[in-house]
């Protein structure tokens, strides 16, 4: 009777088209708190796995490579009470990010899970985390300015729609405050913010003070604090960029902010060193620096949809070193950079923008000639004053000896007043240009 039941059951399965599916599983052979090794699995890089027995402590990890017939994974969560030979089961590729209007006003983590207490995200579309490869000819020129509400940037370092700009500074010089000023005033349809590798306290502070009110309704925030896995930190930057790409495909003007690009490179360094890559410049393996162009080149304008991604990336200069590998690499890829000076911050000049070391490579394409000439005039007076600053302060310079130095000294208070701006003050692009040309147009 048992044989007849088994035969009938198997016949029923055959008629229904059901085919038995094997459950892929491996075993954990090594774990040092971050890097894991599993045996008995053959999975592509990027696959997410769950490690641990059912009903016990479990943790998720992502496949990052292979070595000597073993699958290498990196922990995505916190510590777990894992035992040797714990089962390892694949969950699937991380592949896609939730995108679309359903994301507006929401805050998610590196895995795309909402952390704002507003419940699950419903009705979102899908977009590959790695994005879609674009032809260089699909990228449009930067021809329209973007108002960011900061007088010194609008006037001297005008940002264009579709431009990629880096804000480069050491720690504690005012990068996050400057970002908040730009977020509140930016004339963009959507603002996507990736807070990658920052302190958890700063995430809450950024949301409550810099993305509050009307700005919150048109913003999407991806927050991955510093205590999260390096894989999640990289995935957070990819997720923020993917969300921005999906809005650009709808023809929208998007402001993408990644704070900070250096923390993304640090995450790449941790993964590369764990895989045994040789450390090169300042301890960064080649893969950590090579990852930056793939991320930064995804921003820009799209000639097919008319949408654009204006990318603003903060870059932490370790030890205020302007030749740091991440700073140097980002400067060579981006379309402009804004350098913040610790000396100016110490003199209470905020935002502490060092105009002489900053540049916008598209400014000449998006502002009138009068605006360009006034900006060059201010830069010329500032450079002359900085070159002779020590002589002037020591009293070694005699007035009337050099007309250029005399003019630079006379214009110095106006230059500092033009750069200085209160945190919650908004100076539109038109006002900044009018003030600049009014004071320095004939200088």
pLDDT in tens, 392-403: 888 888 888 889
Q: Nearest to residue 240, comparing CAs of 280, 303, 196, 305?
A: 196
Q: Is it the case that residue 167 has pLDDT exceeding 90?
A: yes
Please give the average per-residue pLDDT across 185-199, as a whole number: 89
The pLDDT score that the predictor gives to residue 15 is 58
List pLDDT tens digits, range 135-153: 888 888 999 999 999 999 9
SS3 426: coil
SS3 394: helix
CA angle in degrees (0–180, nearest 5) for 382-387-393? 95
Highest mean pLDDT: which range of 131-145, 164-178, 263-277, 368-382: 368-382
Q: Distances in Å between the alpha carbon of 381 and those of 136, 322, 368, 376?
A: 39, 24, 21, 9
Confidence of residue 184 (pLDDT cuts 50, 70, 90): confident
Give the span between the Cα atoms of 30 and 36, in whole angstroms.
6
Q: Is it the case that residue 20 has pLDDT exceeding 60?
A: no
CB 118 within 8 A of CB 103: no
With left for phi above 0 and alpha for psi between -120 and 50, is residue 62 left, alpha or beta?
Answer: beta
SS3 297: coil
DSSP designation for 138: G
Q: Which residue has the higher pLDDT, 363 or 174?
A: 363
- Backbone φ and ψ for 125, nearest 5 degrees, come out as -85, -170
Task: Write the CB contacts of 404 (distance below 8 Å, at least 6 apart in sequence).
Answer: 384
Which residues are bridge partners to 51 per DSSP? 59, 88
Confidence of residue 160 (pLDDT cuts 50, 70, 90): very high
Q: How many CB atoms lie within 10 A of CB 442?
A: 9
Domain annotation for the chain: domains and CATH numbers = 26-94 (2.40.10.170), 97-364 (3.40.50.12240), 371-440 (1.20.1270.330)
The pLDDT score that the predictor gives to residue 377 is 95
CA angle in degrees (0–180, nearest 5) for 302-304-310? 15
C-beta contacts of 209-217 below 8 A and 24+ residues apart: 209/180, 210/176, 210/179, 210/180, 210/183, 210/184, 211/183, 215/183, 215/184, 215/191, 216/105, 217/104, 217/105
List pLDDT tens digits, range 195-253: 999 888 888 888 888 777 777 888 999 999 988 889 999 999 999 999 999 999 999 99
- Backbone φ and ψ for 130, nearest 5 degrees, come out as -80, -5
List pLDDT tens digits, range 247-306: 999 999 999 999 889 999 999 999 888 888 888 877 889 889 999 999 999 999 999 999
Mean pLDDT of the chain: 88
CB 230 within 8 A of CB 193: no
Question: What does the radius of gyration of the chain's CA atoms come to, in whole angstroms?
Answer: 26
The pLDDT score that the predictor gives to residue 229 is 87
Confidence of residue 6 (pLDDT cuts 50, 70, 90): low
Distance, C-alpha 62 to centroid of its chain? 21
Q: Is it the case that residue 2 has pLDDT exceeding 60?
A: no
Confidence of residue 3 (pLDDT cuts 50, 70, 90): low
CB 418 within 8 A of CB 155: yes
Q: Is it the case that residue 81 has pLDDT exceeding 70?
A: yes
Q: Is it the case that residue 411 has pLDDT exceeding 90?
A: yes
Give the span between the Cα atoms of 198 and 225, in whole angstroms.
5
């Amino acid at each position: 009777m048992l044989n007849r039941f088994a035969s009938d059951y198997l016949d029923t399965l055959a008629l229904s088209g059901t085919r038995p599916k094997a459950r892929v599983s491996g075993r954990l052979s090594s774990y040092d708190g971050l890097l894991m090794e599993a045996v008995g699995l053959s999975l592509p890089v990027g696959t997410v796995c769950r490690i641990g027995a059912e009903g016990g402590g479990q943790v998720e990890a992502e496949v990052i490579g292979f070595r000597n017939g073993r699958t290498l994974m990196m922990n995505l969560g916190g510590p777990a009470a894992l035992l040797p030979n714990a089962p390892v089961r694949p969950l699937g590729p991380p592949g896609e990010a939730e995108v679309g209007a359903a994301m507006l006003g929401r805050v998610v983590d590196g895995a795309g899970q909402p952390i704002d207490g507003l419940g699950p995200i419903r009705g979102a579309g899908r977009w590959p985390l790695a994005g879609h490869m674009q032809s260089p000819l699909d990228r449009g020129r930067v021809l329209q300015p973007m108002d960011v509400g900061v007088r010194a940037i609008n006037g001297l370092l005008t940002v264009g729609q579709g431009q990629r700009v880096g804000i480069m500074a050491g720690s504690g010089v005012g990068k996050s405050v400057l970002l908040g000023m730009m977020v509140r005033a930016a004339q963009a349809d959507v603002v996507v913010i990736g807070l990658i590798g920052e302190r958890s306290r700063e995430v809450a502070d950024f949301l409550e003070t810099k993305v509050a009110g009307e700005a919150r309704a048109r913003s999407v925030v991806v927050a991955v604090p510093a205590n999260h896995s390096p894989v999640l930190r990289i995935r957070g930057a990819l997720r923020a960029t993917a969300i921005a790409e999906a809005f650009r495909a709808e023809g929208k003007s998007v402001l993408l902010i990644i704070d900070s690009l250096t923390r993304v490179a640090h995450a790449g360094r941790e993964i590369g060193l764990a895989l045994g890559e040789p450390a090169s410049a300042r301890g960064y393996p080649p893969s950590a620096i090579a990852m930056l162009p793939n991320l930064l080149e995804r921003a820009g304008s799209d000639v097919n949809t008319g949408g654009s991604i204006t990318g603003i990336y903060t870059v932490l200069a370790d030890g205020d070193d302007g030749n740091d590998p991440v700073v140097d690499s980002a400067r060579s890829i981006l379309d402009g950079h804004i350098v913040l000076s610790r000396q100016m911050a110490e003199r209470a000049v905020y935002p502490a923008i060092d105009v002489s070391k900053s540049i916008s490579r598209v400014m000449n394409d998006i502002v009138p000639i009068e605006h360009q000439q006034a900006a060059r005039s201010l830069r010329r007076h500032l450079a002359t004053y900085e070159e002779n600053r020590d002589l002037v302060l020591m009293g070694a310079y005699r007035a009337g000896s050099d007309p250029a130095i005399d003019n630079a000294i006379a214009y110095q208070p106006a230059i500092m007043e033009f750069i200085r701006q209160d945190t919650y003050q908004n100076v539109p692009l038109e006002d900044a240009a009018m003030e600049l040309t009014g004071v320095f147009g004939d200088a």
